[in-house]
């Protein structure tokens, strides 16, 4: 039985990783400051799994807390971060402290603890506005927000720690992840949970911009799969890897599919585009297939159905 640390494990993506690790009967420790993560995200149906779960309240900006959480673990899945582009635009220093300094702290502690691998949750935001789609990992980064810049800094630290210290690291560049447990009520919530929550209330959602902006949406179970593979596959060590589905849909496409699945004819409200948002994004996932044996397991509409059902059950 391996021991895993999931930073940000009470958050949207982190809690899904924790749940899958517990299903595999692994030992799991969560480090979370609960600024955006929720304790209820760690209340899983199979209560027999809970003895394998240790929850530590702490912040990745606190090196001592990170050192304590890292002690005795084999694998670190680093998801603690400030994840909002808009929030980072309002508070660049916070974004840097959480995403760059926080990652450096995790790497320092991992090296001291002799961890077997650190997997960083990075972001397609590092590519910025790049029309050369699909985006390959070799594309020049063009960060347009403090969020993107701080994620890129985290990647640089990961690659340096592998090159200089031999600490095995893998950086996963997530595209637009969606699924159950995404918070639709946050000021900075992503489009899919906000759209679903509004439609279930019988209210028209807001689309920022004209709706033609496109994204490579990836269901959270596919991201969980990528994280577990990143802990196992030696070919991925030292690399940056796109995690997505390799296709794209506009926000208007998203809106059409959601209204069809929910069964409503509400029309959206349009608002000005937001600063820092990129226009188009789509991943090349050849490297993920090659070094991780990654293949998306849950397709677009199935992912939307699962997500809608989760919010419906709680509405």
197-214 pLDDT tens trace: 999 999 999 999 999 999
Number of C-beta neighbours around residue 279 at 10 A: 13
Q: Is 219 a known active-site residue?
A: no
pLDDT at residue 315, rounded to an integer: 80
pLDDT at residue 129, rounded to an integer: 87
Give the three-class secondary structure for 16: helix
Residue 307 lies in a domain: no
What CATH number did the domain enclosing 13 receive?
Answer: 3.40.50.720
Quick check: 13 pLDDT over 90?
Answer: yes
User: Rounded to an integer, what distance in angstroms lies between the CA atom of residue 172 and that of residue 230?
Assistant: 8
Query: What is the average per-residue pLDDT within 19-39?
Result: 96
Residue 271 lies in a domain: no
Residue 275 lies in a domain: no
Give the three-class secondary structure for 306: helix
Number of C-beta neighbours around residue 305 at 10 A: 12
Instruction: Band the pLDDT of 46: cuts 50, 70, 90.
Output: low
Residue 100 lies in a domain: yes
Contact call for residues 99 and 151 (beta carbons, < 8 A): yes
Query: What is the average per-residue pLDDT within 49-73?
Result: 93
Q: Is the bond preceding residue 70 a cis peptide, omega within 30 degrees?
A: no
Residue 130, class by beta-carbon neighbours within 10 Å (0-12 exposed, 13-18 middle, 19+ buried)?
middle
- What residues contact 123, with CB distance under 8 A and at least 6 apart? 147, 148, 151, 173, 174
Residue 161, class by beta-carbon neighbours within 10 Å (0-12 exposed, 13-18 middle, 19+ buried)?
buried
Contact call for residues 131 and 280 (beta carbons, < 8 A): yes
Write the pLDDT tens digit of every residue in 138-193: 999 999 999 999 999 999 999 999 999 999 999 999 999 999 999 998 766 789 99
Contact call for residues 18 and 7 (beta carbons, < 8 A): no
Query: What is the average per-residue pLDDT within 292-309?
Result: 98
User: Rounded to an integer, what distance in angstroms lies between the CA atom of residue 180 and that of residue 239?
Assistant: 29
Q: Which two tokens stand for residue 222?
A: 């596919």
* Domain with 120 in it: 3-178+220-246+283-298
Quick check: 50 pLDDT over 70?
Answer: no
Query: What is the average per-residue pLDDT within 256-279?
Result: 91
In the set 4, 127, 147, 157, the catalytic residue is 147
Total domains in the chain come to: 1
Residue 200 lies in a domain: no
Predicted TM-score (pTM) above 0.85: yes
Residue 15 lies in a domain: yes
User: Rounded to an integer, what distance in angstroms lies between the CA atom of residue 137 and that of residue 60?
Assistant: 27
pLDDT at residue 61, rounded to an integer: 98
pLDDT at residue 276, rounded to an integer: 65
């Amino acid at each position: 039985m391996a021991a895993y640390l999931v930073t940000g494990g009470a958050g949207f993506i982190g809690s899904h990783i924790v749940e899958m690790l517990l299903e595999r009967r692994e030992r799991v420790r969560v480090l979370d400051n609960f600024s955006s993560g929720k304790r209820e995200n760690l209340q899983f149906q199979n209560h027999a799994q809970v003895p394998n779960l240790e929850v530590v309240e702490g912040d990745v900006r606190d090196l001592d807390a990170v050192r304590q959480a890292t002690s005795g673990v084999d694998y670190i899945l680093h998801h603690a971060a400030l994840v909002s582009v808009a929030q980072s635009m309002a508070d660049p220093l916070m974004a840097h402290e959480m995403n760059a300094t926080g990652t450096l702290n995790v790497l320092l502690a991992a090296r001291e603890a002799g961890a077997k691998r650190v997997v960083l949750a990075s972001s397609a935001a590092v590519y910025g506005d790049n029309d050369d789609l699909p985006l390959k990992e070799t594309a020049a980064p063009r960060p347009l927000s403090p969020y993107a810049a701080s994620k890129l800094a985290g990647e640089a630290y990961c690659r340096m720690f592998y090159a200089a210290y031999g600490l095995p690291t893998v950086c996963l560049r997530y595209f637009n992840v969606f699924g159950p447990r995404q918070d639709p009520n946050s000021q900075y919530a992503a489009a899919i949970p906000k759209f679903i929550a509004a439609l279930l209330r019988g209210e028209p959602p807001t689309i920022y911009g004209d709706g033609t902006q496109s994204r490579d949406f990836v269901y959270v179970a596919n991201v969980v799969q990528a994280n577990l593979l990143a802990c196992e596959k030696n070919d991925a060590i030292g690399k940056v890897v796109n995690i997505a589905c390799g296709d794209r849909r506009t926000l208007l496409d998203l809106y059409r599919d959601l209204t069809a699945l929910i069964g409503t004819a509400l029309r959206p409200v349009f608002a000005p585009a937001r600063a820092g948002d990129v226009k188009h994004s789509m991943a090349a996932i050849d490297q993920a297939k090659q070094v991780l044996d990654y293949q998306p397991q849950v397709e677009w509409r199935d992912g939307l159905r699962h997500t809608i059902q989760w919010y419906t059950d709680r509405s």
